Structure 1
Amino acid sequence: MSTSERTAWVPPHWVKWLAWKIHRGIYNLSGGRLGLSLPREGRYGTMRLTVTGRRTGEPRSVILGYYEDGENLVTLAMNGWEEPEPAWWLNLQAHPDAEVVVADGTRSVHGRAAEGAERDRLWDRWREIDKKLDAWAARRSKPTAVVVLEPR
């Protein structure tokens, strides 16, 4: 991997934070009519994942990119390619049952990390969608979890 691939540019934290806030605001202000999309060939979709807070027990929602793998939804616990694990992923590990809203409906899911050959296969599929995936992932000191959301 070249130096430029290892140091792929990522917007500053405040830009990502603002983009996330705006995206959630559009979703909330539109009553869920805007802000979600289904995955298409070569593109991921966007979903709203609601998990239970590990400390509060309160529902916590986030909008994430995903693609479908059979009945499962697949996303990455990347936190904008920053070092700490995203809070939603820590919450999902503590309380694996969650709700997902996608553009065509709501689903009850059970979340888990993909491991071994399954992780490699799902990571390779993300790599087909996002050519800079490995460069961005190299910014983090530990592997990025590939999260599988299975129907329950």
Structure 2
Amino acid sequence: MERSSTFCARSTARSSVRPRPSARCRSDQRNPAWKQTRASIGRAEDELVAAETAGLARLENAPAFEAIAIDERGGPLRLVVPDPRIFAAHKFWISKQADREPIKRRRDLAQAQAVARLTAQYLEHLPYQADELRVLPQAVFEEAHHLFERPM
């Protein structure tokens, strides 16, 4: 069953989100452990070099979540994003990293709390259960569990 929820966006526009199962199964991983990665795109000596972000591979390998949102002009906007449960748990984990800048830690925590709250309240078909979130390390899964408790 497809549920429809209406959220107030930051602007005065309203968005209608209709989550649906991913059109394809994502067994292909964007960043498999066996794949060689490049540090830069080009070959010039002064080329920018990618900076590794801890835990990003689990977010890249998260199952896709697809939804259709309605933009400010009334047109459909297809969203393909990481599973919101994995995103929220990842952001919560990032917010607890001691080497993270304090302002970024606060922002990461606020993002984790907001996404988890919206997921628990409006996306009831996405429960926070371990068997569906195997891409997360067990410690990360357990630490973020409280974010998804529904208010009474």
TM-score (structure 1 length as normaliser): 0.28
Q: Which structure has the larger Rg?
A: 2
* Alignment TM-score, normalising by the size of structure 2: 0.28
* Greater percentage in strand: 1
Relative contact order (alpha carbons < 8 A, sep ≥ 6): 1 or 2 greater? 1
